[in-house]
Amino acid sequence: MLKVCIIGCGMIAESAHIPAYKSFPEDYTVTAIFDVCEEKAKALADKVGCKYYTDADKMLDVEKPDVVSVCVPNCFHKEYTMKALHGGASVICEKPLAVKYSDACEMFDTAEKQGKVLMACQSMRFTSDRAAAKKYMTENPIGSIYYAEFSRIRKRGIPFWGNFHKQSFSLGGAMCDIGVHMLDALVWLMGDVKIRSVSGTVGQNHKNEISDAESSGAFLGNVASAKSFCPDEMDVEDFASGSICLENGGRIGFKTAWAANIPDCTEMKIVGTEYGIDLPSLDITAKDNGKKLNPTAEDVFADNPFGGHRVIIDNMRRVLHGKAQPIVSAEETKTVSAILEMFYLSAKEGREVLFDEITNNGGTGK
């Protein structure tokens, strides 16, 4: 039995992580929850049936968990992940693991030295279309990738709970909230991708236009107690766009938004010298023919908008039992962190940022 502790008791902990752990009662038991707000910690602990703490160090020392889920705002990911790793636990950390390449490297280096597993909770790579595309691309090499693109647009869906809208907590807006899921899925699908540079821009255009909870990502609710959203506090982007240049000369274009005057969409294209693939349609385009793939993987999101968390938490138990490898790899996550750092630095300074800048200088982004 693997003992689990939860750090942070917001919507994602309650709606995604805890139900996923509870779906494997033969392997996991949630023993305690930590939050700096005692009222919130106690309320969720009472609902779950476990202990609560307002001191994370004490919880780790007393409970000695095998696995910790880090479900706090982005600015605290590194701090609490390092605490948990040094405390002897393996960690599943909410996305993005880090928005600086050097931080991601340090976190994975620490996990390796401690003999523990660290996985970023990049839960949206497991949609049925992406799983089918990965299987096909593994069995049928796409060749040299010379173009790719993704779009993740909410017409109106700015998160109006928590601190998503504050730079000091989230370190970014739409790009590192929902764009990162598409970025991770693309890196995973492309395989051994080598980044040369990133250019990006950010904008804030619709902060006074707040929609409903489901449109902004709170599919299962649990945000009714959140404080009122104040548009004047929002200092992160609701729209982001840019391009990534690959070492082979290929290019990736992207756009992502919490709010924009564009229809809702979640789309991706990858184009190689052998064929091109479109998602979610799964249309394959090649020189001599075209065809359409059928999703063959189980739709893990059919009954649960957070079904990807269950996939990762299932994988973690199998990794810890010596039956699998981490389903979200360290190298993939470090690449995602590098691109985020380069993107935000580019947007800040209005220039193209080279990958060598953040690796040779130990990370220079925000």
Strands (E), the chain: 2-7, 28-34, 51-53, 67-70, 90-94, 118-121, 145-153, 195-203, 239-246, 251-257, 265-272, 276-279, 283-285, 290-292, 353-354
Positive or negative CA dihedral for 212, 204, 262, 123? negative
Per-residue confidence (pLDDT) for residue 365, from 0 to 100: 39
Query: What mean pLDDT do residues 304-316 have?
Result: 96
Contacts of residue 133, Cβ cutoff 8 Å, sequence gap at least 6: 189, 270, 277, 279, 282, 293
pLDDT digits 0-9 by tens, 146-195: 999 999 999 999 999 889 999 999 999 999 999 999 999 999 999 988 99
Averaged pLDDT, 200-212: 95
pTM here? 0.95
Q: Token match 């924009």: residue?
A: 260
Q: What is the DSSP letter of 8?
A: -
pLDDT tens-digit profile of 184-201?
999 999 998 899 999 999
User: Which CATH fold topology does 125-304+333-360 show?
Assistant: Dihydrodipicolinate Reductase; domain 2 (3.30.360)
Mean pLDDT across 260-284: 97
**Cα gap 241→243, rounded to integer Å:** 7
> How many C-beta neighbours within 10 Å does residue 77 have?
27
* Among candidate residues 339, 247, 280, 322, the one with its CA nearest the CA of residue 2: 322
For domain 2-124+305-327, the question of CATH label 3.40.190.10 is answered with: no
Lowest-pLDDT choice from 209-213, 237-241, 246-250: 209-213
Q: What are 82-140's pLDDT values in tens digits?
A: 999 999 999 999 999 999 999 999 999 999 999 999 999 999 999 999 999 999 999 99
Tell me whether residue 120 is exposed, middle or buried, using C-beta atoms within 10 angstroms of its C-beta: 0 to 12, 13 to 18, 19 or more: buried
Amino acid at 202: V
Tokens 């269950």: give the residue. Answer: 310
Where does the pLDDT of residue 80 fall: very low under 50, low under 70, confident under 90, or very high at 90 and above?
very high
Q: Residue 225: which pLDDT band, with cuts at 50, 70 and 90? A: low
The domains of the chain are located at 2-124+305-327, 125-304+333-360
**Quick one: what percent of the chain has pLDDT higher than 70?**
97
pLDDT at 361: 57
